[in-house]
Each structure stands twice: as C-alpha cells, then as structure tokens.
C-alpha cells in the first residue's frame, strides 16, 4: 500500500547526494515523497558570472531543487525558512537567522507540522555527525529526530554512508587509477578523510540497493548545476565507478533491534 516518505535535508543538492536513489525508488513504487529543506543554500559557493543579473543564489538553488525533485519523482518540496549557516567555523554560523542558531523545539515543530499533515510513515534525517560535521547537517539530525518524536512518525532513518566501504573503495581506486582515468575523474579524496565522518559499517541497519536508479540519481545531481558543475566527479566519474561508490544508500533505523539488517525503508505490508 502506498505510504509517504518525508526526506529532510539541509540544502538543495543534499537530497540527490544522500538519498537520490532511495527517493526515486520510493516514487517509482507509488509512494508519496516529500522533500523538506531547512535552508535554500544561500551561502554556497558559485563561480563568478554564473548567476543572471539580479539573481540570488537562493533563487537559483530553489529552481534547481524543483528540477531535481521532478526528476526524482518527489510530489512536494517545502522549506522551513532558515538561512544557510555555511561551513563549520565560518562567521555565517553566528547569523541569528542561520539554521545552526535555530531553537530546537521551534524548528522541530515546523517540521512536525509537515509530518502530521502528510501522515508520514517514514522520515529520513542525517546521522549524529551530520555526515561530515557541517553545522546544518548536524542540526538536521537534532531537529529531525525531535520532529519525529513530536509527530509520532513510525520509522525514522538516519541517512549516512558506510565509512568502511568508502575507505576501501577509495583506497583501491587510488591504487589502480591510470593517468587517463585520473584526468577524467579528478583528484580522489584521501581515504583518511573518511576516518571521522559518516558511520562505521557495524552500526548501519539498512542498505538500500539503488543500482537501477543511478541514472535518475545522476540526472538529479546534474540539475544542481550551481553546486555540481560539469567537472564534478559526480558527473565525470565512469559509470562502473559511480555504481561501486553510490549503488547502495545507507541508513540507520532509530530504535531498531540490535543486529537489524534490512534492505528497504518501508515496513512490509
């Protein structure tokens, strides 16, 4: 029976990176998908001359968000109305309108209204590290978890990544990348960068196979052109490597019994 998934994110493009395959798969199965963003990504980086005269980055990213949502099959896009906080340690963290500065209960109440309105069966947030310690991503975890409690949402998942998988995959790729492929893909990250980011494999409860939806995920990523340009590894990575890196999306189901190992977010009928 169709149900509703609410996927909560910090900025436009996070939905495609973290959960794009899962969203596309849910929509294809007939579930209603609602995307909620804390901010419009106002302080993201953009190349000089990219924006049209008089256009703000928030305007552009909002339109990109709508395009990506349509590609993924989302039925609704909502914004909570906070301002992008920027990377950790930036002065923008202290903006009183920044999501990082938001009152937890107030922000959670805004999201809970949507959860109740949509009768959400599933909510996705981020893990407690916010993946890579971005202030807004950490706040998505805090606010999302609390909103799920207020609304009584049955299943709450922390979208994350299997750090062990990425360390192994990146190390192997760096060891085997020939010069021609390296020029195409660009510089791969140092595996050590993942050591304190995302989640170790043993705490992940849910591994969602999104191999059949990778083309849709990549199209949604490309729709966020202000942040994911033509030279981004998301766009240039060969299909086989992209499938290896992003063919699975990982989650931690809150409150799941120890040893839980599942492959989908919706409870069996």
Tens of pLDDT, residue by residue over 95-115, are: 999 999 999 999 999 999 999
Q: What is the pTM of this model?
A: 0.92
> Residue 5 — φ and ψ, nearest 5°?
-105, 125
Strand spans (E) along the chain: 4-9, 32-37, 76-79, 122-126, 155-160, 206-209, 248-253
The proportion of the chain whose per-residue pLDDT surpasses 70, expressed as a percent, equals 90
Domain count, the chain: 1
CATH number for the domain that contains residue 58: 3.40.50.10320
The residue range of the domain holding 236 is 4-253
> Does residue 234 carry a pLDDT above 70?
yes
Model pLDDT, residue 230:
84
Residue with tokens 């980011």: 197
Mean pLDDT of 129-138: 94
| 241 or 43, higher pLDDT | 43
C-alpha dihedral over 163, 164, 167, 170, to 10 degrees? -90
Residue-wise pLDDT tens digits, 189-201: 666 667 788 999 9
* Domain-located, residue 262: no
* Domain-located, residue 260: no
* Domain-located, residue 95: yes
* Domain-located, residue 268: no
Determine the distance from the C-alpha atom of residue 30 to the mean position of all C-alpha atoms in its chain, rounded to a whole number: 21
Model pLDDT, residue 261:
97
* Domain-located, residue 155: yes
Q: How confident is the model at residue 184 (pLDDT cuts 50, 70, 90)?
A: very low
* Domain-located, residue 225: yes
Q: Contact, 15 vs 24, CB < 8 A?
A: no
* Domain-located, residue 258: no
* Domain-located, residue 263: no
> Does residue 180 carry a pLDDT above 60?
no
């Amino acid at each position: 029976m169709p149900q509703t998934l609410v996927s909560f994110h910090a900025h436009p493009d996070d939905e495609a990176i973290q959960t794009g395959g899962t969203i596309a798969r849910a929509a294809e199965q007939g579930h209603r998908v609602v995307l909620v963003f804390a901010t419009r990504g106002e302080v993201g980086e953009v190349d000089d001359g990219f924006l049209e005269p008089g256009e703000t980055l928030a305007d552009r990213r909002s339109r990109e968000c709508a395009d990506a949502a349509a590609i993924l099959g989302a039925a609704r896009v909502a914004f909570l109305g906070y301002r992008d906080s920027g990377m950790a340690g930036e002065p923008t963290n202290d903006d009183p309108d920044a999501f990082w500065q938001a009152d937890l209960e107030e922000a959670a109440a805004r999201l809970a209204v949507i959860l109740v309105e949509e009768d959400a069966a599933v909510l996705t947030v981020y893990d407690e590290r916010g993946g890579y310690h971005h202030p807004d991503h950490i706040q998505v975890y805090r606010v999302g978890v609390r909103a799920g409690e207020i609304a009584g949402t049955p299943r709450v998942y922390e979208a994350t990544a299997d750090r062990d998988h990425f360390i192994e995959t990146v190390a192997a790729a760096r060891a085997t990348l020939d010069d021609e492929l390296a020029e195409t893909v660009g510089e791969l990250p140092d595996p050590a960068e993942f050591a304190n980011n995302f989640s170790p494999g043993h705490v992940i409860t849910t591994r969602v196979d999104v191999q059949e939806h990778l083309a849709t995920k990549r199209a949604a990523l490309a729709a966020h052109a202000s942040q994911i340009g033509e030279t981004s590894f998301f766009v240039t990575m060969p299909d086989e490597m992209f499938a290896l890196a992003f063919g699975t999306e990982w989650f931690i189901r809150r409150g799941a019994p120890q040893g839980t190992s599942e492959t989908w977010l919706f409870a069996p009928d």
